[in-house]
Copies of this chain bind each other. A is one copy, B any other.
Amino acid sequence: MPLIVHSQPPLPRRVTIIGVGLIGGSFALAMRRAVPDICVTGVDRDEINLATARHLGVLDQVVQDVASAVAEAELVLLAVPVRQLAAVLSQVWATLPAGAVVTDVGSTKASVWQAAQATMGASLARFVPGHPIAGAEQSGVRAARADLFQGCSVVLTPTSVCDEQARGVVQQCWEACGAKVELMSVQRHDAIFGVVSHLPHLLSFALVYDIATRVDAASFFRFAAGGFRDFTRIAASNPEMWRDISLANRTVLLSEIERYREQLDLLTELLQQEDESGLESFFKVARQARRNWNDTQ
């Protein structure tokens, strides 16, 4: 009796990347490893970046406009800032070939999905929102690496209108890049990343802002040391990017700031009452949870 093998469809061979930075460039390099005869087309507003990407062998061809870049694509990866996504999506769908699949890499997903609903028309079923949990100190295509996604998680948030095959193609590509794919709803994604990523960024910005706006800021910064360094590393993040993420996920952030305030209320109460065991157990819970988390990394 013949063995029935459920073989996966082949990986796409014509890939278009819109926004060829760290993430877009690394995706191109990783896909090249997986698909030797791939043809990767790139679009980017920054011509120098685009020329560099070509020079580094990240791209096979560069195209000036989105419409012609996607005209022959099997897979389109949108790796532009969240804020530009709506504008780019509205250009993509007009020339998108039937059957081509579109995905993105934005840090927030509800806003992306809204933009897709508003612009993609009949192509909407072939848009699979995604978010690779990867990054690096550097940005730009020069920092791109074929192994950036090795062992990383990539969250996909397909909705009920999403074509199952389209989801499969995107998942297969990320797995070919070495990533573990996790599926969740758009809302769940934004709730989780609002807490573990967006909120700490705001809290870190807030501490540095708090110190920086004092009359005698310099005498504070002068004595800041290792703990401050770690806590505020993310306060050096890109302000435009975090403005966009904050606004895109503002509903979650507003409720999470409120919830965080309640922890500050509790700490305030413990301090006011000089509650030794209360403070110690608060810190112990946090330390144990942080250590447990560390052990899983």
Q: A197-B228, A207-B203, A220-B195 are in contact. Are A287 and B246 (CB under 8 A)?
A: no
Q: Quick check: is A272 within 8 A (CB to CB) of the other chain?
A: yes
State in angstroms the CA–CA spacing of A287 and B227 once bound together.
17
Q: Assess the A260–B205 pair: CB atoms within 8 A.
A: no
Q: Assess the A221–B296 pair: CB atoms within 8 A.
A: yes
State in angstroms the CA–CA spacing of A288 and B233 once bound together.
12
Chain B residue with Cβ nearest A282: B209
Contacts of A233 in B (CB 8 A): 230-231
Q: A209-B282, A243-B276, A260-B210 are in contact. Are A293 and B234 (CB under 8 A)?
A: no
Q: A192-B219, A235-B287, A257-B267 are in contact. Are A205 and B282 (CB under 8 A)?
A: yes
State in angstroms the CA–CA spacing of A247 and B278 once bound together.
11
Q: Quick check: is A201 within 8 A (CB to CB) of the other chain?
A: yes
Interface residues of A in 208-261 (CB under 8 A from B): 208-213, 217, 219-240, 242-243, 246-247, 250, 253-254, 257-261
Contacts of A210 in B (CB 8 A): 195, 259-260, 263
State in angstroms the CA–CA spacing of A265 and B215 once bound together.
20
Q: Assess the A192–B257 pair: CB atoms within 8 A.
A: no
Q: What number of A residues sit within 8 Å (CB to CB) of B?
A: 85
Q: Assess the A207–B211 pair: CB atoms within 8 A.
A: no
State in angstroms the CA–CA spacing of A209 and B272 once bound together.
19
Least CB distance, A286 to chain B, in whole angstroms: 4
Q: Assess the B208–A290 pair: CB atoms within 8 A.
A: yes
* Most chain B CB atoms below 10 A, which of A192, A193, A227, A257: A227
Contacts of A195 in B (CB 8 A): 210-211, 220
State in angstroms the CA–CA spacing of A148 and B247 once bound together.
44
Contacts of A213 in B (CB 8 A): 285
State in angstroms the CA–CA spacing of A217 and B283 once bound together.
17
State in angstroms the CA–CA spacing of A232 and B213 once bound together.
24
State in angstroms the CA–CA spacing of A233 and B250 once bound together.
26
State in angstroms the CA–CA spacing of A219 and B281 once bound together.
23
Q: Quick check: is A45 within 8 A (CB to CB) of the other chain?
A: no
Q: Assess the A264–B234 pair: CB atoms within 8 A.
A: no
> A234 is contacted by which of B203, B211, B227, B297 (Cβ under 8 Å)?
B227
Can you pick out 13 interface pairs between chain A and chain B where the beta carbons lie within 8 Å of each other? A192-B220, A195-B220, A196-B223, A197-B224, A197-B227, A200-B227, A203-B203, A207-B260, A209-B282, A222-B296, A230-B231, A242-B283, A258-B268
Q: 10 other contacts beyond A133-B225, A211-B289, A247-B271, with CB at 8 A cut-off?
A: A195-B220, A206-B286, A208-B287, A209-B286, A209-B289, A224-B293, A231-B231, A231-B234, A258-B268, A261-B264
